[in-house]
Structure 1
Amino acid sequence: MSAASDSPPALVLVAAAVVIERGRVLLTQRKVGAHLAGAWEFPGGKVEADEDPRDALVRELREEIGVEARVGDIVEVTYHRYPTRPVLLLFYEASFAEGSPAPAALDVAAVRWAELHELRDELFPPADVAVLAKVRARLAGAWSDQRVEPA
């Protein structure tokens, strides 16, 4: 068996939100100095050890953009191997809880609502590209303005 330093990097589990309102999807921009700085992505973040991915997503949305969220069903699951680590991403339908503040850039470079024509693959991290086709289809009318029902 190889030494610990020779073992492959641990898989990183990430939960991300697909929030669609009024024909637009919510995006955040990665901060300067972060891996893939400047890229636009679906808001969310790393799931901690022993944390439920849905709870992690609610926590990350609160920390990064100051919103209270409701998490719905899985939209997409993707796996991507970056040069330094493999990542498994769980993309969930999400909406804002009643009374939630508007999203603000608390721990991200920027927050914005993007329309269908603004969702270009090259603006996103490679791991997010797989879900873009589904989001584009939903923005084109198949899923627009649907809300996640409270649990």
Structure 2
Amino acid sequence: MPELRTTTLVDAPLRTVAAALLDARLLARAVRGLGVRISGGPVLYAGASLTGSVGPVNGMLVVTRADTTGVSAELVGGPLPRLTLVTDLLHTGGGTMVVDSVEWSSPGGPFGRLADVVVGRGLALKVMEARAEAVSRRSVELVGARVVVGAAIIRDGLLLGQQRSYPADAAGKWELPGGRVEPDETDHAAVVRECAEELGVTVSPGEQLGPDVPLRTDLLLRVYAADLVEGEPSPVEHRAVRWLAAADLDTLDWLPADRVLLPALHALLT
């Protein structure tokens, strides 16, 4: 089975590089000049799909992993029997090492040998190099990005979710409580303030969950686990609030950015 591997050292924290990797639009822009077209949602999460084409050949990639360790995706349909893309992130003293690899199985006969040459030594390498360069640039930009905090509030083994009432394109979708960090305010202080304003409760924030998630060019979502200290949550600004068991998480229509955190939320509830 042919394999191709590249490494890039990025001068940014691991969670920031993970955020750059999760920006689906970044990949689309990086390969646009190579005759490759890729489209999908704004962020990558486990289960998300990306449609792509190289000339007249179409295929679909399904994301199998998207967290602080990196991103993986597998080809579903398309000209190759198997194609797997893997990006692993490793913390080093000099920054974050980004290790990209692609493995594929080619069909037999002359077309298979041609695919090995074109995919392995030609287009795939160009795509990996373009993506690595784009991730490096984006990571440096995100180091100074503003932050929106989210709170994964836990009580008696249940997670608090809230349902949006506006704007129109988000109404009815679910998210975690939170909001923007004010100037000179710490992330934890913002979590406490936002939960008091949105829910009328007092919480005690703890460790960060999952990766930073890109929202806009200069804005990141950062989610923290939090214990409910006092009060009963009420939907001050939202349509509804609900205590969720682990089995409920995958049944709700989450906003894309919050959906990225589902694997970390499952782990928090088990």
TM-score (norm 2): 0.43
Q: Deviations over 1:113-133 (max 9, x none)?
A: 012222127611111122110
* Deviation of the 1:28 alpha carbon: 1.0
More helix by share: 2
Q: Give the equivalent residue in structure 1 for 2:224.
A: 92
Distance (Å, rounded) in 2 between the aligned partners of 1:77 and 1:71: 17
Q: Pick closer, same or farther for the CA change 1:11–1:29 going to 2, 3 Å.
A: farther
Ranges in structure 2 where 5+ consecutive residues have no aligned partner? 1-143
Q: Deviations over 1:55-88 (max 9, x none)?
A: 1111110000000111111122322245xx5531
Moved over 6 A (4+): none
Query: How much has 1:52 moved relative to structure 2?
Result: 1.1
Maintained 8 Å contact 1:77/1:88: no
Distance in 2, matches of 1:26 and 1:86, equals 27
| 8 Å contact kept, 2:213–2:222 | no
Structure 2 matches for 1:7-46, cutoff 5 A? 11-33=145-167, 36-46=170-180
Is contact 1:89-1:127 (8 Å) kept? yes
SS of structure 2 residue aligned to 1:88: strand
Matched-pair contact (CA < 8 Å) for 1:105–1:111: yes
Q: Which has the higher contact order (CA 8 A, sep 6+)?
A: 1
* Match 1:129 to one of 259, 262, 266: 259
Alignment-derived partner of residue 117 in structure 1:
247
Alignment correspondent of 1:147: none
1:34 CA drift (Å): 6.2
Note the C-alpha offset of 1:12. Answer: 4.4
Identity %: 35
Distance 1:42 1:129 in 2: 10
Moved more, 31-40 or 123-132: 31-40
Among 204, 224, 242, the residue aligned to 1:70: 204
Deviations 1:94-125 (A, max 9, x none): 0122xx11111112221110122221276111
Q: Which runs of 5+ in 1 are unaligned?
A: 1-9, 142-151
- From the two aligned structures, give the one with the greater strand fraction: 2
Residues 80, 34 of structure 1: alpha-carbon distance in 2 compared, 3 angstrom cutoff: farther
Structure 1 residues 15 and 35, CA gap change in structure 2 (3 angstroms): farther
Residue pair 1:81, 1:87 contacting (<8 A) in 2 also? yes
TM-score by length of 1: 0.73
Per the alignment, in what secondary structure is the counterpart of residue 119 of structure 1?
helix
CA RMSD between the two structures: 2.4
Separation in structure 2 between the aligned mates of residue 34 and residue 70 of structure 1, nearest angstrom: 32
The verdict on how the C-alpha distance between 1:58 and 1:122 changes in structure 2, with shifts beyond 3 A counting, is same
